Structures are given as structure tokens and as C-alpha cells.
């Protein structure tokens, strides 16, 4: 695929990613993505035959972005506790988006839980990546229940996102973020 083809493909993925987040997967049509990109629907099928294929590409793109972010945390600090704290900052940095549309990962997972198993498995990939990375950080700190702590941390972030989005409450995110950092410090204390 030439440079222009790659460019178009990426534009479709980026537009779909944003629409899936802002409107939901099921509420986004091929036509919506075509409108958002300016790429005619005809040309479109050259890159993706079905919306499921677009979802797959969107999730792969999110996995790549998260991988880069986690790698950045690893470069920023060698201290696993610090890495966990950096991870939790996501909640604060993205608070405006979360209040508007929820967590992009959690809300996609919640939506697709009501769809077929294949779509659920695709959407689960980002959570699998995060869970595994968090597990590793807790493990590095010598904690035996590292996977449980990884799940607990993800659950706290998800719970905060659902309630903050429901009540459009930025203060709740700030407070909850402080509590989560306290929890991380408590759990990883030597």
C-alpha cells in the first residue's frame, strides 16, 4: 500500500476511533466515518469490508498507543510505584473527555458486552494489555497478589469514570484520583 493509501487508512481509523468513543460503536455508520474523513464510501471498502474490521483496526491502534504510553512510563522512571502513579494520572489528564463520554476503553467494553462474543474479545485486548502491565509493576514491588491489585486498580478507575460521567462531576474525578494514589502508596509500601 502506498503512502496515500496508508494515510487514508489511518484517517479512517482515527475518525472511527473518535466516533466510536463519542457516539458509540453501534451508533456509528460507514456514512458517518465517510463524512468525518471526506473519503467516499466507495473508496472506503478498499480498506475495510465491514465495521468489525474497522473495530479491529481501532482497537489495534489503541493497543499501539497504550504500548507507547506504558513504554514512556518505563523510561520516565525505574520505580514501579512511580509508574503506577503515572498510570493513575490518566484519570486526571483525561477528565474532560471522561465527563463527556466516559472512559474510551470501559465504555466500548460495556457497549460490546451486549454484542456477540467476537466483538467482546476484540475490545478486551486493551484491558488485557493494561492488566498485564499493571500486574508486572506490582510484581516488581514483590507483591504476591499482583494480578488482583491490577484488577482492583482498573476497577477503581472504571468506577470513577462511570460515576463522574453520570453526574458530569470533575471534582469527583479529582478526589477519586487522590484516593487512588493514596491506595497505590498504601499497597506498595514496604
92 is an interface residue for a copy of itself by CB under 8 A: no
Q: Which of residues 105-124 bind a copy of itself (CB under 8 A)?
A: 106-107, 109-111, 113-115, 123-124
Cα separation, 52 vs 57, in Å, equals 9
Give CB contacts under 8 A, 24+ apart, made by 91-94: 91/157, 91/160, 91/161, 91/173, 91/176, 91/177, 91/180, 92/173, 92/174, 92/177
Q: Does the protein bind a copy of itself through residue 152 (CB under 8 A)?
A: yes
| Minimum distance, C-beta of residue 172 to a copy of itself, in the bound complex (Å) | 6
Per CB under 8 A, 167 contacts a copy of itself: yes
Q: How many CB atoms lie within 10 A of CB 147?
A: 16
Q: Distance between CA 165 and CA 176 in Å, rounded?
A: 13
Considering beta carbons, is residue 70 or 134 the nearer one to a copy of itself?
134
- The residue (of 30 and 127) whose beta carbon lies closer to a copy of itself is 127
Cell for 9? 487508512
Question: Shortest approach of a copy of itself to residue 138 CB, angstroms?
Answer: 15
Cell numbers at residue 93, please? Answer: 489528564
Tell whether residue 96 is a contact of a copy of itself (CB under 8 A). no
Q: Which residues bind a copy of itself (CB under 8 A)?
A: 22-24, 26-27, 100-102, 106-107, 109-111, 113-115, 123-124, 127, 148, 151-152, 154-160, 162-163, 165-167, 172, 175-176, 179
Amino acid at each position: 500500500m502506498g503512502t496515500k493509501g496508508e494515510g487514508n487508512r489511518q484517517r479512517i481509523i482515527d475518525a472511527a476511533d473518535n466516533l466510536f468513543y463519542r457516539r458509540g460503536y453501534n451508533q456509528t455508520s460507514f456514512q458517518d466515518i465517510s463524512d468525518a474523513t471526506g473519503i467516499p464510501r466507495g473508496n472506503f471498502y478498499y480498506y475495510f469490508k465491514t465495521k468489525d474490521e474497522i473495530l479491529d483496526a481501532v482497537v489495534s491502534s489503541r493497543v499501539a498507543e497504550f504500548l507507547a504510553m506504558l513504554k514512556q512510563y518505563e523510561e520516565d522512571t525505574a520505580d514501579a510505584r512511580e509508574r503506577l502513579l503515572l498510570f493513575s494520572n490518566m484519570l486526571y489528564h483525561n477528565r474532560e473527555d471522561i465527563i463527556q463520554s466516559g472512559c474510551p476503553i470501559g465504555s466500548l467494553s460495556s457497549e460490546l458486552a451486549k454484542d456477540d462474543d467476537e466483538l467482546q474479545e476484540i475490545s478486551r485486548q486493551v484491558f488485557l494489555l493494561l492488566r498485564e502491565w499493571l500486574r508486572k509493576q506490582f510484581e516488581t514491588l514483590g507483591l504476591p497478589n499482583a494480578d488482583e491489585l491490577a484488577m482492583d486498580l482498573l476497577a477503581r478507575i472504571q468506577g470513577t469514570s462511570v460515576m463522574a460521567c453520570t453526574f458530569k462531576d470533575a471534582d469527583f474525578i479529582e478526589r477519586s484520583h487522590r484516593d487512588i494514589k493514596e491506595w497505590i502508596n498504601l499497597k506498595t509500601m514496604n
